[in-house]
Structure 1
Amino acid sequence: MRAKLGDAVVAEAADDDIIRIEGNAYFPPDSIGAGVLSESPTPYTCPWKGECQYYDLSAGGETMKDGAWAYPHPYPSAFDRVGKDFSGYVAFSPGVRVE
Structure 2
Amino acid sequence: MKATWNGEVIAESDDTVVVEGNHYFPMDALKREFTTFSNHRTTCPWKGQAHYFSLLVHGDMNPDAVWYYPEPSEAAANIKDRVAFWKGVQVSE
**Normalising by structure 1, what TM-score?**
0.84
Aligned counterparts of 2:82 and 2:27: Cα–Cα separation in 1? 5
Report Cα offsets for 1:42-81 as digits up to 9, x if no partner: 12111100010011112233210011100111011323xx
What number of residue pairs does the alignment pair up? 92
Aligned with 1:50 (options 48, 51, 59): 48
Aligned with 1:74 (options 72, 75, 89): 72
Give the conservation status (yes or no) of the 8 Å contact 2:70–2:80. Answer: yes
Identical amino acids, percent of aligned pairs: 38
Give the conservation status (yes or no) of the 8 Å contact 1:5–1:60. Answer: no
| Bigger fraction of residues in strand | 2
Q: Aligned partner of 1:63: which letter?
A: M
Gaps of 5+ in 1: 80-84
Q: Aligned partner of 1:90: which letter?
A: V
**Normalising by structure 2, what TM-score?**
0.89
Gaps of 5+ in 2: none
1:82 is aligned to none
2:6 is aligned to 6
Aligned-residue Cα RMSD (Å) equals 1.3
Where do 4+ consecutive residues of structure 1 move more than 3 Å?
A: none
1:92 is aligned to 85
